[in-house]
Structure 1
Amino acid sequence: MDKFIVSARKYRPQNFNTVVGQSHITTTLKNAIRNNQLAHAFLFCGPRGVGKTTCARILAKTINCTNQTPEGEACNTCNSCVSFDAGSSMNIHELDAASNNSVDDIRSLVEQVRFAPQAGKYKVYIVDEVHMLTTSAFNAFLKTLEEPPPYAIFILATTEKHKILPTILSRCQIFDFKRITTNDTVEHLEEIIGKEGVHAEKAALQIIAQKSEGCMRDALSILDKIVSFTSGEVNYQNTLEHLNILDHDYYFKLLEALQQQDMAGGMLLYDEINRKGFEGDMVLNGFAEFIRNILVCKDARAIQLLDVVEGMQEKYRTVAASVNAGYLVSALNILNEAEVNFKMARNKRLHVELVIIKLNFLQQAIELSVQDGNLVRKKRVDGPVAIQYKPIASIQIKTPPATVIPMPNNIGKLYVEEKPAIQQKAPAQEYAPATSPMQPYMPETQYATTTQTILQPPPMQVVKPVPAPPMGDGKRNILDALRAKYGDRYSVQVVEEPIPLTMETLQAHWDKFTNKLKEDNQVSVGNAFYQATLLIQDEATFTICINSNLQQRFIEQEKTMMLEYLQRHYHNNSISFNFQLNEGTKDEVPVTANLNSKQRFERIAEQYPLLRELRDKLKLELDY
């Protein structure tokens, strides 16, 4: 039995003319070959399964062909083409950057570039999934990619162009591959089933092309599975069953039930769909796509955007003519929001059923918002809007007291015109005419005039500063002033003056702290304090002279407690210290540092004779 080869490999294009859906790429490459204008580095980027690696191999095969056609294609008969088809050509090297992405892999590739081809014109290096290279690997590749030997051509392929360094992009000719259209995919599948002798309906091939989403490799893989599933008979129904796709007939029935406000029928239809194993998010997504297609069919100019199987266009147009566009737009909004919130819903089925209930009463809500053929909007429409007024009760402002201005003489009269007392009334339509030409039109206003007889101007009062209470001898400190002002409401504490450091007092406090450590069973730390000597630098700083780093570590363990103790006794929080290692002293080194095991035992036994006696009594044999 012959070994089975999948269609994606068996029918892989062998020249530029057989590449599907990338005519803008193949035409450019053929013209560059024919005019001898090949670049030294190419970057092929685009979605998966659209022919990037295939075009790279065809380019490598064509430029080394010794008998090219006038159109810039390989002859497929010369030794170079035959060896290439057999996979034994030494002029093409492929590197999978997904698994060989280190600097060493790129360096080994660069080492191979130094050797010229033994046969043919060019050595082609294809680096697939180049975006997986590390930054260091990219940097190691820069110089060779910029100035390669004249016989070396690099072809980089990637699905994620944005991950490649700009320094790499600037050194390459970039070719952007596009997704393969549904029609191109269907034509290519029809060609393949014709060669294989398989019977397939065109509607089934359209479903496969839509499912592949522009990826030819996925379309061929799906076709192989369905051919195996159906034993060579590919039709519309078994394709839907195999791909787990919901038939559009269900969507037509669901839309009809919702238009008739048959909530029970819609719920029962969804129950049937759910029992067939279709998830709720798939139903929401499919129904939203169905509503979109119906909305597209409302306008004859947009029918070309309809992406459905052949023979269904007329049914879509018929249904679209009977559905209100406002209903379709509102339904799309509800379905989109439900699809976004589907993952957060705990009860998935209830979430979908609530959407069906909303869509069932959506038409009724739209009808309620229309009165006499006009749309009722809650928001304010454009244009002038009348302002409603309410009468305001009159407000009587009291007259302030008259202002008295003293006159130079003791007797006289002063006429003072006070601020008018304005009585506000409701807005009036007319104003009283002016009594004189100089008087403007004014609303009704009441003025009050006061006459006052002044016999004698009021005496002026002079405010003198109140002298401070006597302070005895004329001096009083701040503490006495605070006590006199606030009394016993606050407790006043006197801050004592700091005591300067002296050698006598410092040594006394140091010895007390050392004895306290020994009383607390901190003998090692106490000995470290006892062996240290002190030197005073200034009134708040002293130096601790130590003999070893170990002694310093012991003292630093009690640094906080010791500083707190000294600061409390000297009334000074700025007391600090530093360390000084005595000259000529070194850290204690064990005597047995350079001795072997036997010598160390003898040295210890000399110090502790009972150890040797213990060994002899127990008859121990030591492993030296």
Structure 2
Amino acid sequence: MEKFIVSARKYRPQNFNTVVGQSHITTTLKNAIRNHQLAHAFLFCGPRGVGKTTCARILAKTINCENIQPDGEACNVCHSCVSFNEGTSLNIHELDAASNNSVEDIRALVEQVRFAPQAGKYKIYIVDEVHMLSTSAFNAFLKTLEEPPSYAIFILATTEKHKILPTILSRCQIFDFKRITNNDTVEHLQEIAGKEDIHSEKAALQLIAQKSEGCMRDSLSILDKIVSFTNGDVTYQNTLEHLNILDHDYYFKLLDTQINQDMAGSMLLYDEINRKGFEGDLVLNGYAEFIRNVLVCQNPRAASLLDVVEGLQPKYIETAKKVSPAYLVSALNILNEAEINYKMARNKRLHVEMTMIKLTFLQQAIELSFDNQTSTLVKKKRVSGPVAVKFEQLQSLQIKSAPGTSTPPTGAKLFIDPKQPVLASVTEVQKAAVKVGAIADIPATANETLGATATVAAPPKPKEALTGKKSLLQSLRDKHISNKTSEDIKEAVPVTEENLKEHWKCFTEKLKQQLKHSVVTVFNNAALQVVNEQHFSVTVSASLEQKFIEQEKLPLLEYLKSCFHNRNIGFTIHINEQPKEIVISEATLTTREKYQRVIEQYPMIKELKDRLKLELDY
């Protein structure tokens, strides 16, 4: 059985001309080789499967080629190219930084750099996935990367450029690889299908290119799977089935039912899609992309942004003529919110069905907010115009005079009743008001008359007089005053040492009854001294005793104030710390010092040591 090689490895480009979609990089590298302007370090960064490692290998082979072609390509004939193609070249070293990311691995690489190549001009080191190196490994690599030997060239490749240290980036010549376009992918797939005698439809290859999202390796892997699935016949329907992609015909039917406000048809169509095994999030995502493509077709200038399978463009353009842009934009907004909230929905199917119902009645909502006269969309308002705030007119308080009396009280104010007829002129009312001592708030025009009757009313009385009840604040005041008057004011007793010690002892007994034995001991040991008639001092021997007295300071002051009938009594606490005795301890003597003391007391011991020629081990 012949060994199978996947297309991604079998058709890997072997020179710069066969690299797909990266002409801006291959041209630069070929010109640098022809002009002998090679940098000592390159950094290839970009998405996965776009040719970073492939270009690194081609560059390494071309640099050491003995017969470089005029266009900057390798000859593939010389000993260096043949050994590279066979994988036996000693001048090219590849390191996978994902699995060799420690400091020891980089130090081993740096040790190899010291040795010159045995054959060829350069030694090339390709470090793939370089962003996986640790910070320590990057730091160990810095000096060698900045000033390598003249025969060493480093080619670094990564998919995550932002994870590389800035000190590494500044030492490299950076090349940014771009995603491969769908047209380039389709052309490359057609070329491979022709070489492998595979029958393929262009629409199927376009679906594969869209699914791969600019990654050539993924597109080749998908092609291998579909070829195995269909036994060499790659068709549009087989590709849809294998890639689990919903056919665009369903989206066209779904849009027609929603424009016609056919809720039953829309729900039945989604039920058919659901029974085929398509998840709700795939339906929402695919339908949003479909609506976007229809919206793009509204403007001929944006038609180039339409990225669909060949043959569907006329159908999209025809559908775009039937739908208004307002509906498409609103539908995109609804689908976007539904896709965001899909993961949080507990009933996934109901969530998608609610979205379909909203889209079904969306056209009706747009028609309700459309102004036929101006042919523009208008925003509905709850109120057509401003509404004034309504206030209720309050009647003034009028106190009429008692029956049988014609003179109003002094200080009364004149009020006007608008419901009564005019009985007198202004001047007559003012004269009458002056006689009774009232104040008339009426203009002083001579012959002006009012359509109202003047009624004399007394000034308003306090609220307590009207209601007959006292406020809470007034009640508290009265109670406080009555308590003050009922208490007898007693004369203050001067503070002396005798009565102070007597009251101090009484308070200590109270503490003893409360079982505060530690505090009682402190109070018994405290020394009292009278400063003046209102102040005294308490002397203790430690800060801990001071804290005990401060804890009882408030009840103690209340007790003393009541005993001496003086609210101004106070005291201060002083600490009389005893000086600490310094005990000088004698240091421990060493063995030599002990020996010296012994021979000072007994000199014969030293003479005995000398005669016996003894050596002491101190």
The TM-score with structure 2 as length reference comes to 0.67
Q: Determine the C-alpha separation between the residues in 2 that align with 1:581 and 1:333.
A: 88
Residue deviations 1:46-70 (CA, integer Å, cap 9, x gap): 1000000000001101111111111
Partner-residue secondary structure (3-state), 2:93? strand
1:260 Cα offset (Å): 1.3
Q: Determine the C-alpha separation between the residues in 2 that align with 1:212 and 1:173.
A: 29
Partner of 2:361: 361
Partner-residue secondary structure (3-state), 1:98? coil
Partner of 2:139: 139
1:257 Cα offset (Å): 1.1
Q: Determine the C-alpha separation between the residues in 1 that align with 2:107 and 2:61.
A: 25
Gap change, CA 1:296 and 1:401, over 3 Å in 2: farther
Q: Aligned letter for 2:541?
A: E
Partner of 2:478: none
Gap change, CA 1:295 and 1:421, over 3 Å in 2: farther
Q: Determine the C-alpha separation between the residues in 2 that align with 1:106 and 1:576.
A: 68
Partner of 1:556: none
Gap change, CA 1:390 and 1:341, over 3 Å in 2: closer
Answer yes or no: is 1:235 the counterpart of 2:235: yes
1:111 Cα offset (Å): 0.5
Partner-residue secondary structure (3-state), 1:281? helix
Unpaired segments ≥5 residues, structure 1: 403-417, 424-431, 436-465, 481-490, 503-537, 543-562, 587-624
Partner of 1:220: 220
Partner of 1:251: 251
Matches within 5 A, 1:385-396: none
Contact 1:397 1:422 in 2 (8 A): no
Q: Determine the C-alpha separation between the residues in 1 that align with 2:339 and 2:202.
A: 31
Matches within 5 A, 1:255-294: 255-294=255-294
Partner of 1:348: 348
Partner of 1:378: 379
Residue deviations 1:66-97 (CA, integer Å, cap 9, x gap): 11111111111111011000000111111101
Partner-residue secondary structure (3-state), 1:67? coil
Q: Aligned letter for 1:89?
A: S
Answer yes or no: is 1:83 the counterpart of 2:108: no
Partner-residue secondary structure (3-state), 2:141? helix
Q: Determine the C-alpha separation between the residues in 2 that align with 1:497 and 1:228.
A: 99
Q: Determine the C-alpha separation between the residues in 2 that align with 1:335 and 1:65.
A: 56
Residue deviations 1:420-448 (CA, integer Å, cap 9, x gap): 9699xxxxxxxx9x99xxxxxxxxxxxxx
1:539 Cα offset (Å): 2.4
1:142 Cα offset (Å): 0.8
Partner-residue secondary structure (3-state), 2:43? strand
1:470 Cα offset (Å): 6.7
Matches within 5 A, 1:152-231: 152-231=152-231
Alignment size in residue pairs: 466
Gap change, CA 1:77 and 1:273, over 3 Å in 2: same
Gap change, CA 1:259 and 1:541, over 3 Å in 2: closer
Partner of 2:17: 17
Matches within 5 A, 1:394-473: 472=491
Contact 1:7 1:221 in 2 (8 A): yes
Partner of 1:61: 61
Q: Aligned letter for 1:256?
A: D
Partner of 1:532: none
Matches within 5 A, 1:408-557: 472=491, 475=494, 498=522, 539-540=541-542
Gap change, CA 1:499 and 1:388, over 3 Å in 2: closer
Gap change, CA 1:258 and 1:35, over 3 Å in 2: same
1:378 Cα offset (Å): 3.4
Q: Aligned letter for 1:109?
A: L
Q: Determine the C-alpha separation between the residues in 1 that align with 2:200 and 2:280.
A: 30
Q: Determine the C-alpha separation between the residues in 2 that align with 1:291 and 1:142.
A: 51
Q: Determine the C-alpha separation between the residues in 1 that align with 2:181 and 2:220.
A: 14
Gap change, CA 1:392 and 1:501, over 3 Å in 2: closer
1:566 Cα offset (Å): 13
Residue deviations 1:19-51 (CA, integer Å, cap 9, x gap): 000111111111111111111111111100000
Gap change, CA 1:28 and 1:469, over 3 Å in 2: farther
Q: Determine the C-alpha separation between the residues in 2 that align with 1:211 and 1:140.
A: 41
Q: Determine the C-alpha separation between the residues in 2 that align with 1:575 and 1:243.
A: 92
Partner-residue secondary structure (3-state), 1:154? strand
Residue deviations 1:255-310 (CA, integer Å, cap 9, x gap): 11111111111111111111111111001100000000000001101010000010
Partner-residue secondary structure (3-state), 1:261? coil
Residue deviations 1:499-539 (CA, integer Å, cap 9, x gap): 6989xxxxxxxxxxxxxxxxxxxxxxxxxxxxxxxxxxx92
Q: Determine the C-alpha separation between the residues in 1 that align with 2:118 and 2:369.
A: 82
Residue deviations 1:100-151 (CA, integer Å, cap 9, x gap): 1011111101111111111111111111111111111111111111111111
1:346 Cα offset (Å): 1.0
Q: Determine the C-alpha separation between the residues in 2 that align with 1:161 and 1:323.
A: 44
Matches within 5 A, 1:322-333: 322-333=322-333
Gap change, CA 1:501 and 1:475, over 3 Å in 2: closer
Q: Determine the C-alpha separation between the residues in 1 that align with 2:576 and 2:2.
A: 94
Answer yes or no: is 1:306 the counterpart of 2:268: no
Partner of 2:130: 130
Q: Determine the C-alpha separation between the residues in 2 that align with 1:351 and 1:90.
A: 62
1:325 Cα offset (Å): 1.1
Contact 1:567 1:574 in 2 (8 A): no
Gap change, CA 1:248 and 1:566, over 3 Å in 2: same
Residue deviations 1:329-384 (CA, integer Å, cap 9, x gap): 11111111010111111111111111111111111111111243444633679xxx
Q: Determine the C-alpha separation between the residues in 2 that align with 1:268 and 1:386.
A: 45
Contact 2:96 2:127 in 1 (8 A): yes
Gap change, CA 1:200 and 1:422, over 3 Å in 2: farther
Contact 2:371 2:378 in 1 (8 A): no
Contact 1:21 1:180 in 2 (8 A): yes
1:541 Cα offset (Å): 7.3
Q: Aligned letter for 1:91?
A: N
Contact 2:523 2:549 in 1 (8 A): no
Could you list the runs of 4 or more consecutive aligned residues of structure 1 that deviate by over 2 angstroms after TM superposition? 371-381, 385-398, 418-423, 468-477, 491-502, 563-569, 571-578, 580-586
1:474 Cα offset (Å): 6.5
Q: Determine the C-alpha separation between the residues in 1 that align with 2:18 and 2:575.
A: 88
Partner-residue secondary structure (3-state), 1:37? coil
Partner-residue secondary structure (3-state), 1:252? helix
Q: Determine the C-alpha separation between the residues in 1 that align with 2:440 and 2:37.
A: 97
Gap change, CA 1:574 and 1:8, over 3 Å in 2: farther
Q: Aligned letter for 1:141?
A: F
> Cα RMSD between the aligned structures?
4.4
Q: Aligned letter for 1:209?
A: A
Q: Determine the C-alpha separation between the residues in 1 that align with 2:442 and 2:88.
A: 109
Answer yes or no: is 1:47 the counterpart of 2:41: no
Q: Aligned letter for 2:29?
A: L
Residue deviations 1:453-494 (CA, integer Å, cap 9, x gap): xxxxxxxxxxxxx9x9976466479xx9xxxxxxxxxx9999
Q: Determine the C-alpha separation between the residues in 1 that align with 2:232 and 2:78.
A: 37
Gap change, CA 1:472 and 1:322, over 3 Å in 2: closer
Q: Determine the C-alpha separation between the residues in 2 that align with 1:345 and 1:568.
A: 61
Partner of 2:6: 6
Partner of 1:104: 104
